[in-house]
Structure 1
Amino acid sequence: MAEEMGRDNIFIFGMTVDEVEELKKRGYNAYEYYNRNPEIRQCIDQIQNGFFSPGNPDEFKDVADMLMKFDRFYLLADYEAYIKCQEKVGEVYQNQSKWTEMAINNIASSGKFSSDRTIAEYAREIWGVEPSWEKLPAPHEPREEDAAKEAPSKQAKK
C-alpha cells in the first residue's frame, strides 16, 4: 500500500521483515519486553489479574498467556513502535489540512486494492480460471436456463 500511496500518506510501524528474521535468530522472549517496559508490564498484569473483567477475573488470562508464552507475531516487540506511530497519528490529526490531504491521497490510490481487482487476480493466478464479468440475475429472478426448463411444463398444463 505504501508503494501506491506514498510513505508520506500512510502510518506504518513495527519491524521490517529483516528485523523479524534477526529477532527469530536471536530468539524472541516476551519477558524481556515485559520486564523492560513498565507500560507493557502494567497492561499484562491487569489482564492477568482481571482488571478488565471484574465479574470474571480469569476471562482474559488466555490473552496474557498467549502474549507472554506463545506469541508468534512478536507483538510486544512492536509495542514501542506502535505507541510512537500512534503519537504521530494524533499529531497529524490535529492538522486537519494535512489529515485531509493524506485521506484524499489514500482514497485516490486505493483502486489497486479493490475487491474486483483482487478477485480477478486470484481467479487468474491462484485458481487458473478467467474471470467473467457477466452480470448474474438477482437471486429472486429466474435464470434463462430455469425459464427454459419451466416452459415445456407450463405448456403441458394448458
Structure 2
Amino acid sequence: MSRLLLNTALAAMPFVLLAACHPGGKDKQALQARIDSLQEKVNAAYVPGTGEIMNNIIQPHHLKLWIAGSDENWVLADYELHLLSGGFKRIEKFHKGSPEAIALQMIYPEIDSVKEAINGQKKELFKKHFLLMTNTCNTCHHATNNPFVVIKVPDKEAFSNQQF
C-alpha cells in the first residue's frame, strides 16, 4: 500500500510544483523586471579577449613550464601545465564556438603527452613533447589566421624573481 501512495505522490509532484510556482500578474512583472536587470548585468560583465588570455595566462605558463621541466622540477612543471591548460579552458568558456575555441582542440593531445612525460619524470621525453606542443600552438595560430604569432621553445629565463 505504501508503494501506491509513493507513486501517487510522485506523479502529483509536477502539478503541485507548477501550481506553487505560478506567479500572479504583479508578481510576474516584478520577476520579469528582476530577470531583465540581471540580464543587463550579465551583458555588461567583463570578458577577457582571446589575445588577453593568450598573453597573460598561456604564454607565461608556457615559459614557466619549460623552465620547470628543463630543471626537472616535476612538481612545478605539473602545476604550470595545469595553469596553462586552464588558459585554454577559459578560451573555451568565454569564447565558445569561436574559431579559436574550436581550433584549440588540437592542443589537448599534446598537453596529454607533456603530462605523461612529467608524470614519468622523463626530461628528454618532456622536451620532445614540449616542442610538439609548441609547434601545435603555431599550427593553431595559422588555422585561426594569426600566422604572425609564432611561439618558440624558450631559450632564456625571463622570471628572475622565481626559483625553478
Scaled to the shorter chain, the TM-score interval is under 0.3
Choose between structure 1 and 2: higher helix proportion. 2
Whose radius of gyration is greater, 1 or 2? 1
Higher relative CO (Cα under 8 Å, sequence separation at least 6) belongs to 1
Question: TM-score, normalized by length of structure 2?
Answer: 0.23
